[in-house]
Amino acid sequence: MSILNDINGYIANYHQKIEDQRARNAVLQEKIDRLEAAKRQVNDAYHDAQNLTGMMMDYDPSALWAGDKYDLFVNEKTSTLNRSKNFERQIDTNYDAICDKITQLRNEMSEGWGLVSFYSSTINNLQNEWQKAWHDLFG
């Protein structure tokens, strides 16, 4: 009888491990969902910044202006465009970091599901051993 109790204990332990891993994966999925929403927002911000940079680049009042004020405007426009492009690069860097984190979390989830599969197989094997032990004891 002791072997049957031992096997039952192992089975219960693996069932608990499965539930624990499912809970961890649920937490990971919540993080992924939040990051996916943030990624969409960052992507929108990136496109908005690109559109603004494009509008600044397209604006050319040379037909209307000449002289020192125009030269000052061109210098300021160039400086602003450089800052805008730098801002776009920073947004893109943040987007890439979010993508990397999502990938990391998805990989953790995949590993977790692999453990669940392993635990399920182990339970199946233990149940088989339990049935054989029961049969040996009680025929």
Contacts of 50 (CB under 8 A, 6+ apart): 88
Tens-digit pLDDT profile for residues 54-112: 999 999 888 888 888 889 999 999 999 999 999 999 999 999 999 999 999 999 999 99
Rounded to the nearest 5°, which phi and psi values hold at 66? Answer: -160, 160
CATH architecture of 2-138: Orthogonal Bundle (1.10)
The domain segmentation of the chain, as residue ranges, is 2-138
Q: Are 119 and 31 in contact (CB under 8 A)?
A: no
Tens-digit pLDDT profile for residues 3-58: 999 999 999 999 999 999 999 999 999 999 999 999 999 999 999 999 999 999 99
Q: Are 105 and 32 in contact (CB under 8 A)?
A: yes
H-type helices in the chain, by residue range? 2-58, 68-138
Angle at which helices 2-58 and 68-138 pack, to 10 degrees? 170
Evaluated on CA atoms 45, 46, 48, 53, the torsion sign reads: positive
pTM recorded for the entire structure: 0.83
Q: Alpha-carbon distance 122 to 56, whole Å?
A: 64
